[in-house]
Chain A
Amino acid sequence: MYTEQVMDHFTNPRNVGEIPDADGVGEVGNAKCGDIMKMYIKVKDGVITDVKFKTYGCGSAIATSSIATEMIKGHTLEEALTLSNQAVVEALGGLPAHKIHCSVLAEESIKAAIADYYKRQGIDPGPLVGQQSDCAHCCEA
């Protein structure tokens, strides 16, 4: 059902864990839907120097979180904000149709973490991060 890349990231997830002194934390999804993603970022001079995630969910939820962390680590906040769910799906070699919402969760969790970072810096995240969703209903899409 899953591609090799999905199974690889699911069985050997990259950047799992927490950052106790994170500069931004974002959490999206909900338990009722069966998936929650939590992203922690460390930011220095506008660059994401470290990122960790924790995910409750199915195989593709864990795999999308894992690959998304790899795709933003070492990149600027602006670059990270351009990461789309389609890019995550492509990097994984595709996802089954009913799992696409997992990639949306990954995109939204990164946006949420960056928005949290801006807020902590006293910057309004609205104009920078754009439209956000907590994906409380992503599973119903």
Chain B
Amino acid sequence: MHPMIYADNAATTSLSPAVLEKMTPYLTQYYGNPSSLYSFSDAPQKAVARAREQVAAVLGAQPNEIYFTSGGSESDNWALKGMAQALRRKGKTHIITSAFEHHAVLHTVNALQKQGFAVTLLPVHENGLVRPDELAAALREDTGLVSIMLANNEIGTIQPIKELAAVAKAHGAVFHTDAVQAVGHIPVNVAELGVDMLSLSAHKFHGPKGVGALYVRRGVVPDILIDGGAQERGRRAGTENVAGIVGLGEAITLAAANMDQIAPKLRELRDYFIDHALSIPRSRVNGDRVHRLPGNVNMCFEGIEGESLLLLLDLQGICASSGSACTSGSLDPSHVLLAIGLPHEVAHGSLRLSFGDETTMEDVQYILEKLGPIVERLRAMSPLWERIQNENR
């Protein structure tokens, strides 16, 4: 069998050996609790402080604006629930987000809706982009919070965050962005973007799982989500995941340093793949081709279902993902693909590949070589494909 080709870097990435090396001493040698007084805890304390500086430096923030969390989902939950509760006391109970956010945002605003908040979901259109003028039109007197993701996790489209944040700011609303897919892959600077809060997760850029951060601009004060001890300057309780935090700091620094080298290579692989895969009849690219994460491919192949496509790719050693209902574990295909206007039957036949710095041109060519015959094979046994063919005769 062909060696495994991992093309699902949007799901998670490998842990960088250099990152692991920096983490290990904090799991073995320097295991002290950073909150303890004795000198044995100096090392973990300093390590957490250093990681905070590393994250702040990459994001263009101040270290005291960085709060470590357990990952992207917690950061999103804290930003939205914490801010919504704080804003409610000022009579601001309307939240605006987009229709194709990650579930960590969508399910959180659903929960807030049940608590009495009003929620508006902005459309994302066929190209998968939120329009600043539509945000402006959706703002109400009681709008306190806007949350729009920086880059979409399925179709990789990069939102005009700077423009969107400016619209929110002019209205006096707090602006949060879920940047989990963007940080480490494209330049993200909180000052340039003008965002008030930003979520990130280490395992999306070769850091460890189970650690992330929330950037909270000075002066913005969401209510506390995790009550308890005085860690994170009293804002997020729980003994620090020291090794994880060290890994996050190291991984974000490496990702930022290597970005100029890796991103152009990924764009080339991505565009090469899409250009060639489009030669498969009745295939399409999902989402804008320009405003798109460097390593993201998302395509649909009509007449076939995504799970069987993934299983056959897996048999060839290729790890990929799909937005089909069967792979989502729910009855409906991906809400992202439905949000960009795809009919259910087209969305079921989706394939997401997310290339990373380990992906080579040989890998891309190998996937292309296998993909065509697999699609053909599934179509040959598909009554839906037969129907599509007959309709176009």
B is bound to A: yes
Chain A residues at the B interface, C-beta cutoff of 8 Å: 7, 10-11, 13, 16-17, 27, 31-38, 53-59, 61-62, 98-99, 139-140
On chain A, the residues within 8 Å of B311 by CB distance are 7, 10, 59
A62-B381 in contact (CB<8A): yes
Specify which chain A residues have a CB less than 8 angstroms from the CB of B333 in the assembled complex.
34
Q: Which of A7, A38, A56 lies in contact with B304, CB distance below 8 A?
A: A56
* B327 to chain A: closest residue by CB: A58
B323-338, CB under 8 A of A: which get 1 and which 0?
0111001010100000
Which of A31, A36, A55 has a CB less than 8 Å from the CB of B344?
A31
Q: Is B386 at the interface (CB under 8 A from chain A)?
A: yes
Q: Are A140 and B331 in contact, with the CB atoms below 8 A?
A: yes
Selected from B312, B344, B383, B385, the residue in CB contact (under 8 A) with A34 is B344
Contact B326 A34 (CB under 8 A): yes
CB distance from A73 to the nearest CB of B (A): 17
With an 8 A cutoff between CB atoms, is B363 at the interface?
A: no
A56 and B325 contact, CB distance less than 8 A:
no
> Which chain B residues lie closer than 8 Å to A11 at the CB level?
312, 315
Known: A33-B331, A34-B344, A139-B331. A54 touches B381 (CB 8 A): yes
Q: How many residues of B contact A (CB 8 A)?
A: 26
Asked if B303 contacts A56 (CB within 8 A), the reply is yes
- Of B315, B331, B383, B385, most A-chain CB atoms within 10 Å: B383
Q: Which residue of B lies closest to A30 (CB)?
A: B345
Within 8 A of A (CB), among B325-367: 325-326, 329, 331, 333, 343-345, 348
Q: Name the B residues within 8 Å of A56 (CB-CB).
A: 303-305, 381-385
Q: Is B345 in contact with A31, judged by CB distance below 8 angstroms?
A: yes
The CA-CA distance from A140 to B325 in the complex, in Å, is: 11
Instruction: Kindly state whether residue B307 has any CB partner on chain A within 8 Å.
Output: yes
CA distance A62 to B308 in the complex (A): 8
A61 touches B305 (CB 8 A): yes
8 shortest interchain CB distances as A-B pairs: A31-B345, A58-B307, A58-B326, A56-B384, A56-B382, A34-B348, A38-B383, A32-B344
Asked if residues A34 and B324 are in contact (CB atoms below 8 Å), the reply is yes
What CA separation (Å) do A13 and B377 show in the bound complex? 11
A5 CB → nearest B CB, Å: 14
Can you show 5 pairs from A to B with CB atoms below 8 A apart? A10-B311, A31-B345, A31-B348, A55-B383, A61-B308
**Distance A27 CA – B305 CA, assembled complex (angstroms):** 17
Contact indicator A58/B384 (Cβ below 8 Å): no
Considering the chains assembled together, what is the distance between the CA atoms of A38 and B381 in angstroms?
10
- Among candidates B307, B325, B331, B382, residue contacting A55 with C-beta atoms closer than 8 Å: B382
Least distance between B326 CB and chain A CB atoms (Å): 4
Nearest Cβ on chain B to A131's Cβ, whole angstroms: 23
Q: How far is the CB of A89 from chain B (nearest CB, A)?
A: 17
Is B381's CB under 8 angstroms from A34's CB? no
Q: Determine the chain B residues whose CB is within 8 A of the CB of A33 once the complex forms.
A: 325, 331, 344
Query: In angstroms, how far is the closest chain A Cβ from the Cβ of B321?
Result: 14
User: Which residue of A16, A58, A59, A62 has the most chain B CB atoms within 10 A of its CB atom?
Assistant: A58
Question: With A and B bound together, what is the CA distance between A59 and B374 in angstroms?
Answer: 13
Contact indicator B305/A35 (Cβ below 8 Å): yes
Q: Of B315, B324, B325, B386, which one neighbours A54 at CB under 8 angstroms?
A: B386
Knowing A11-B315, A34-B324, say if A58 contacts B345 (CB, 8 Å): no
Q: How far is the CA of A62 from the CA of B378 in the complex (A)?
A: 10
- A17 vs B377: C-alpha distance in the bound complex, in angstroms? 12
Q: Which residues of B contact A7 (CB under 8 A)?
A: 311
In the docked arrangement, what's the CA distance between A96 and B127, Å? Answer: 35
A11 to B381, CA, bound (A): 12
Whether A54 and B382, one on each chain, are in contact in the complex, defined by CB atoms closer than 8 angstroms, is: yes
Bound together, the chains give a CA A13 to CA B304 distance in angstroms of: 16
Residues of chain A lying within 8 A (CB to CB) of residue B315: 11
Q: In the complex, are the beta carbons of B381 and A16 less than 8 A apart?
A: yes
Contacts of B305 on A, CB cut-off 8 Å? Answer: 34-35, 56-58, 61
